[in-house]
Each structure stands twice: as structure tokens, then as C-alpha cells.
Amino acid sequence: MQNPPSLFERANRWLRESITIKLVSIGFLILLLMIPSFMIESLISERDSMRFGAIDEVSSKWGRQQTVGALVLTVPYLTTILNEKGQPTETTAYAHFLPDQVNIKGELTPETRYRGIYEVVVYNAQLNVSGQMPRPDFSDWSVGPGKILWKDAFVSLGISDMQGIKENIALKWGQDQLAFGPGIETGEVFTSGVSVRTPLLPAANPADTLASFPFSFTLDLNGSSLLYFTPLGKETTIALSSKWATPSFGGAALPDERQVTPAGFSAQWRRLHLNRNYPQKIRGSVGTQVAESNFGVELLVPVDQYQKSTRSIKYAILIIGLTFMIFFFAEVLNKKRIHPFQYILVGLALCIFYTLLISLSEHLGFNLAYFLSALAVVGLVTAYCTSIFAHLQLALLTGGILALLYGFMFTLLQLEDYALLMGSIGLFVVLAIIMYLSRRIDWYGGEQEG
């Protein structure tokens, strides 16, 4: 007479055949495989940081992102303040006067430089600047005529990175030819730039206060990826053109007119002093208000493989989970036993997809790298499933479903604006298929009779 199975044997059989235990094990393996996924995501961030390091290294030598401000006329004056002991003392303050009219016409000549495998976009800007500067008027302020230091007046030009200046800047100021020097006496409007003394005389009669100083100069400037302008004029007009085909217009204002073609772009802006939050006459610092009004153009690199790779790895848990679900149904519905170690090997193959993707995309571009990485991983998993299932059709079905998953993920990466909609519909369809396939499973025993 055959002895009944022991408690240990019954427990061991239950652990091997229980669907619940199998699902719990699969869930644990998926969470375990998130560890290499997080490590790969850190690798992508590290490679992206290296790219930014290469961009910064090239930019520091060529010229960084540039912001150009038009001329500001500054007139020092004496004012009385209380010192630390509460005693009145005389000190120098600054009054800043902005132009009535600023016209900028420029052309950007882009170049692509390389630091190792990393691509850096730089440019040379040829800017012709002209305008009208009003004669300083202190009548709105309580400043005595004897307190105004007319002889110490100067004009300044804001340039965010002085490294990018390629030629001396000659200023035509009225009838005078002046040469800019480095640095600005006060950082109340610009924190970086050039300036030149323009000694003034007080107006001989009230009619002279309506006079203005015409000015013009040419700026030969190197920069990297971005060129912004500060609209300091009562009316500021800017016209830019370039052979770069993928511009991004940003900042506080978009162009009034623009044309973008494969041969390049052209754009025109017109801004009024009413469009910003600081006046035409300023005493003291304007803080961040000037920077908040900046606008311009960025020369975008058409493909950012790191951003797309980061987005793709966020779907790793979905790809691994659905692939393991395929294996689960193969076990339950087709009576194919799959060891947890085999699950892990397949999961690692799915993780290797992302390392292949990021490494190949640095040399071949994202789309081709994605195709080759997906082809390699789908082929590897299909070949391995042939051995696991000992059934060619089942292995090919698994590979086909995995290929559809990678195709679906690629579609989501391309449809940025509709990614949520497509993803929601796709997940609904997947859930419906899982519910359909699992309708015949006896979750407390085996498969139900047909």
C-alpha cells in the first residue's frame, strides 16, 4: 500500500503548482529587475552630464549663451544718505536713461563643433545696432542741478559673456567716434558688458531737453546655442536670420513674423516699453526685471538621444511585466514549466536593450539605434524561448508580441503630445487581452475544462 504524501511533500507540491505563488514570484522578480533599470537610468544621466560638460568646455573657449542689451546712458549724481551713525553723508548714485528707439539687424552663422563623440552648436553673430538716446532729464526727480555729475556720464552695453567678443566695438555717438572699454562702473542694469565715457553738458535751455543722441555700432559676437536680447528701447525692433533649420523661439516674446525652412530661418520682433515692467528712466538697481523681459532664439540640435532614452526606460517595468505575463500564460495555458532563473535571464536581456540603445544612439542616431537594439533583443529572447518552450510557433508568437511592444513604445516616444492618450488606449487593450486569456484559468487549481 502506497504511503500518503508527507506534509512537506504536499507543501512542496503546492509551492510548485500554485498559481498565486507563481504570480507573487513573478511580481518579486519584476521588482528585482527594476534595480538594473535604475542603474541604467543613472548611466543615461551620467552620459548626459558628460555631454553638458563637453558643451561647457567648448562654450567657455568660444563663447557661452549670449544676452545682448542695447545702450544705457548713465549719469552719476550726488545724494545724501544717513550713515551707520545716523549722520547725513553725501554719496554717489546713478540715474539710468534708456533709448527711445533701438534697431537691431543681425545674421547668425552656426557651426557644429565636436568634443569627443559629443556635438556642440556654436555661432557667430554679426549685429548692426542703431537708435536714438534722449538727453537725460532729471526734472521728475528732486535732484539739484549742482548735484548732477555730467562730466562723468557714460554709456554701457550689456553682453553676458565677454569671451565671445571678436572685434573692438566702435561706437558712433552723435558726431563722435568712441571706443568701448571692458567693464561697467555700476552693475545696477547690466552685470557684464562694456562701457565708454560720454561727457555731457546740462541743457542750455528747456528746448534742448528734446534733443537726442543718435548712435550706432557693429557687434561681432561668438556664442553657443542661444542668443537673447533685452528690449531696452521705448520701441525695439529686431530682425534675425540664419541658415540653421531648427530654431526655438523663446523668452518673454515670440517673433511677430517668422519663416522657418530647411534652408534656415528669419524672424522679426517689435517690442514696446509698455511690454515690460521697468520704466525708461531708472534710479538704482532694477533687479531681475530686466532679465525677465529677455527674448530671442535657441539653435536646437534636432535629435536628443539622452532625453528619448530617459523617456524610454520609464517604460521598462511595462515591457518586463508584459513579457513575464506572456511567459505566465505559456506556463498555465500550455503546461510549460519555466524556472525563475529563466525569467531573470529574459528580464536581463530586456534591460540590456537600454544599454544597447544609449551606446548605439551616441554614434548612429536614436531611431536606427532603437531598431537595432530592439532587433537584437527580440531575436535573443525568441531564440531562448525556442529552447524553453520546445515549441517553435509559441516562441515566434512570444517574439512577435515583444516586437509589437517595442513598436508601441517607439510610437509613444515619437508622439510627445499624444503619448498619454496612446498609452492609455494601449494599456486598455493589453488589459482586455489579459482578461480574455485568463477567463479559463482556475485560480484555485488548474485550468478549467473547455
Is the pTM of the predicted complex or chain greater than 0.85?
no
The confidence score (pLDDT) of residue 344 equals 82
- Beta-carbon contacts of residue 427 (< 8 Å; ≥ 6 apart): none
Q: Grid coordinates in use for 283?
A: 534710479
Residue with cell 492609455: 424
For residue 399, the surrounding DSSP H or E stretch is helix 392-414
pLDDT at 394 over 60: yes
* Mean pLDDT score of the chain: 80
pLDDT of residue 448 exceeding 60, the answer is: no
Q: Which three cell numbers stand for residue 203?
A: 541743457
**Residue 34 confidence (pLDDT):** 75
pLDDT value of residue 219: 93
Q: What's the one-letter identity of residue 138?
A: F
Which residues have CB under 8 Å from 335's CB, separation 6+? none
142 pLDDT tier (thresholds 50, 70, 90):
confident
Q: Is 111 exposed, middle or buried (0-12, 13-18, 19+ CB in 10 A)?
A: exposed
Q: Which of the pair, 229 or 27, is modelled with greater confidence?
A: 229
Q: What is the pLDDT of residue 210?
A: 46
pLDDT tens per residue, range 263-278: 899 999 999 999 888 8
What is the rounded distance in angstroms from the CA atom of residue 388 to the CA atom of residue 382? 10
Predicted confidence at residue 317, as pLDDT, reads: 79
Q: What is the pLDDT of residue 416?
A: 65
Cell numbers found for residue 439: 477567463
CB burial string 383-397: b at 16+ within 10 A, e below: ebbbebbeeeebbeb
Task: In whole angstroms, give the CA distance from residue 374 to residue 354.
Answer: 9
Give the SS3 label for residue 156.
strand
Give the pLDDT band of residue 194 (cuts 50, 70, 90). Answer: very high
pLDDT in tens, 318-332: 778 778 777 777 776
The 10s digit of each residue's pLDDT in 199-258 is 786 654 444 444 788 999 999 999 888 999 999 999 999 999 999 888 989 888 899 999
**Element spanning 329, H or E:** helix 316-334
Q: How confident is the model at residue 438 (pLDDT cuts 50, 70, 90)?
A: low
